[in-house]
Copies of this chain bind each other. A is one copy, B any other.
């Protein structure tokens, strides 16, 4: 079993090597910029780890793993336009640094490049890999649409929310693992178990994000708490709070989230206080644990030596235990 550290170094080397020096420069410069912003590179790492689990050469999965990372960055690029976000990983977003048209078109090109790299698989698994990737790509778009719908939709249930984050976040993590397993020529049931493992980890990961937005170490997290509150995002904490709140607290939440409420500090503190009163830190942590444990059942159930699962377990644990 290769270590996660080694796998990350392979991915970094490959991304550094990528030639974005094609013409026209106006199109490829923002792509290079986006790919070099860094990030956890979680998805390609999971893809390679899954491939390695079945004793295959990770070199065979490296191009598709990069394709997944390009696709992930494409979604961030277009999401930043849609969210009108000005910063990404402490740097200016592409549509701010250049302009919106450049951001749309560079994103489109990244999507085509993602497929270009995804095609560079051993021919015998290519069809399955592409089908898995393509379904994932469509589902991620669907998830983003649900997320946008929720901005103006009042009756969002926790179930709706979990479905949305499953599509927007979890399926790409799940798909990365499945694609790695397919390239490793794992049996079908194995690749499906890895998919389910990834799906549950992905949901737990997003819930953790929701939690950290409110209850994290601001210095280590690198940004102030409450970003989701300020932008009126209907996160798990918000939806659960609304579900648990009595009439009086519900009115307070509605009041804080109304467009007329412009005092940001008062808003963040007020909402945070309600979350604390309703014990949402623990409730959310319990929910995260639930999805994490569900993931572990799928991991335990894999038909490979116990020791070789340890790296995947470590990645999952790190994602759950991160404090920022």
Contacts and interface: CB of A to CB of B under 8 A. Distances in A.
B78 A142 contact: no
Interface in A144-162: 144-146, 148-149
B27 A141 contact: yes
A130 B134 contact: no
Interface stretch (A105-113, A218-226, A309-317): A105-113
A82 B104 CA distance: 8
Contact of A123 (B102, B108, B127, B149): B127
A167 to B, nearest CB: 10
B148 A105 contact: yes
A293 interface: no
A141 B78 contact: no
B137 A112 contact: yes
A119 B127 contact: yes
Contacts of A38: none
Interface in A16-54: 22-24, 26-27
Nearest to A131: B119
A78 B81 CA distance: 13
Interface of A: 22-24, 26-27, 78, 81-82, 101-102, 104-105, 107-109, 111-113, 115-116, 119, 123, 126-127, 130-131, 134, 137-138, 141-142, 144-146, 148-149
